[in-house]
Every structure is written in C-alpha cells, then in structure tokens.
Amino acid sequence: MSAADITKRVTSRVGPGSIVLFHNAAKHTPEALPGIIECLLQEGYTFVPISQIILTGDYTIDHTGRQCPA
C-alpha cells in the first residue's frame, strides 16, 4: 500500500479507543505516520501507551474485537 492509502485507511476507520497497529516491515509506513498523527491530533485524538487502555481483570471481547468490562 502507498503512504496515501495507509493514511486514508487508518484515518477513515479509527474511532475512540482504537488501537492502531503498524507493521514495521511495511515499506511506506514511515512516510504515512506524520500525516496520520497530524490528522488524528486535528480531530481531537490523543496518543497514550497501550497499558492505559487495555483492560485487566474481568472483561469480554465483543464481535468487533473490543474489550468490554465483564
């Protein structure tokens, strides 16, 4: 995928609580990241360590792959 394609895919699908995984071996990921970060910051998103959003203890995972408190 081109950097523009990666940027469009990520920014069109991200939502509150999303975890975005980037494959470090993808050829165009490094050039896509600045645009993705800028776009998401402009939309009011913040970036936090994964440890701040992963639930621990009792939880379930719904059909979309999201964690939900049990």
Write the DSSP string, 40-62: HHHTT-----GGGTS--SSEEE-
pTM of the model: 0.74
Q: What is the pLDDT of residues 40-67, one digit of tens each?
A: 999 999 999 888 888 889 999 999 888 8
CA-CA distance, 53 to 50, in Å (whole number)?
6
CA-CA distance, 23 to 3, in Å (whole number)?
13
Write out the two tokens for 45: 């998103």
Q: What is the pLDDT of residues 4-41, one digit of tens each?
A: 999 999 999 999 888 898 888 889 999 999 999 999 99
Parse the chain into domains and list their residue ranges.
Answer: 3-69
CA-CA distance, 23 to 67, in Å (whole number)?
22
| pLDDT for the residue 16 | 87
